[in-house]
Amino acid sequence: MIEGALARGLTYFAITDHCDKDCQVLPGFEYIRQIDLPRRFEEIARLRDEYRGRIDVAVGIEYGWLAAADPLYAEINARYETDIVINSVHLVSGEDCYLPQFFFSRTQRRAYTEYLQDVSASLDAPYDYDVVGHIGYVIRKAPYEDKILHYGDYSDLLDEILRKLISKGKALELNSHAEGTGLDFLPERATLRRYRELGGELVTFGSDAHAPINIARNYNIVCDALKDIGFRYLFKYKAHSPIPIKL
């Protein structure tokens, strides 16, 4: 992945593997393999040193939020030094919204509302985090013709989320893993515009790559959208401090 980032000409690269303690504490999700944290942090530290001077490797992690997993994430934060922590919602009302069953028993409005309610709750996590991951994630596997979570349809909940995010000083992630959704990145532009209107400034870019070929996908599209909407900076994180990058 680091070689892939170098090949794309990146000078900063944050590695933010999933940490799925949400699946560990929820019955029925034992099949999700848990990451070997000690080995993983050791390996990234080694690679960060090996590549020093060529690319700035930041140590990150992405937590899959679930209230029952809060103490486990607090413990990980206390044990390992990181540059950036992303807090994300993958399980909605205790179900996996990547599976079709999630949508069988709900209307689209119900599915998206429950997702946004969980995102709102995740912002109150008692452990430290820097970034709110991929708002709109529920649409990735949604079976609808128009999958987009339109700001106008959920403005009350989205406003609540964006206001909370701003008051807590957390960053909004622009996530370019959005194939098949009709979007170039999550969240949808109207939501991003609203965040700016409300005074939001902290934005990060994540390609959520999972493979070298996807690193920095749609980066220029995201930067152009940010500029259009009136943002002047994108931020990267080092030791949990946002560092502005001029757009």
Sites of contact with Zn ion (CB under 5 A): 88
Instruction: Indicate the residue among 138 and 202 with the shorter CB distance to Zn ion.
Output: 138
- Do 18 and 64 contact (CB within 8 A), yes or no? yes
CB 210 to Zn ion: min, Å: 10
Q: Sort 107 into a burial class: Cβ within 10 Å, 0-12 / 13-18 / 19+.
A: exposed
Length of the chain: 247
Instruction: Indicate the residue among 34 and 167 with the shorter CB distance to Zn ion.
Output: 34
Q: For residue 206, what is the enclosing H or E element? A: strand 203-206
Distances from the Cα of 46 to the Cαs of 33, 39, 242, in angstroms?
24, 11, 24
CB 178 to Zn ion: min, Å: 12
Which residue number places its CB atom closest to Zn ion? 88
Q: Which two tokens stand for residue 86?
A: 């992303």
Distances from the Cα of 118 to the Cαs of 14, 79, 81, 160, in angstroms?
26, 26, 27, 12
Instruction: Indicate the residue among 90 and 194 with the shorter CB distance to Zn ion.
Output: 90
CB 47 to Zn ion: min, Å: 22
CB 230 to Zn ion: min, Å: 27
Instruction: Indicate the residue among 96 and 155 with the shorter CB distance to Zn ion.
Output: 96
Pairing of strands 56-64, 203-206: unpaired
CB 19 to Zn ion: min, Å: 10
Instruction: Indicate the residue among 82 and 88 with the shorter CB distance to Zn ion.
Output: 88
Q: Rounded distance, CA 62 to CA 84, Å? A: 9
DSSP 138: G
CB 197 to Zn ion: min, Å: 26
Q: Which two tokens stand for residue 38?
A: 């000690």
Instruction: Indicate the residue among 131 and 148 with the shorter CB distance to Zn ion.
Output: 131
Instruction: Indicate the residue among 17 and 184 with the shorter CB distance to Zn ion.
Output: 17
CB 56 to Zn ion: min, Å: 23
- Do 77 and 87 contact (CB within 8 A), yes or no? no
Q: Which residue has the tokens 């060529």?
A: 54
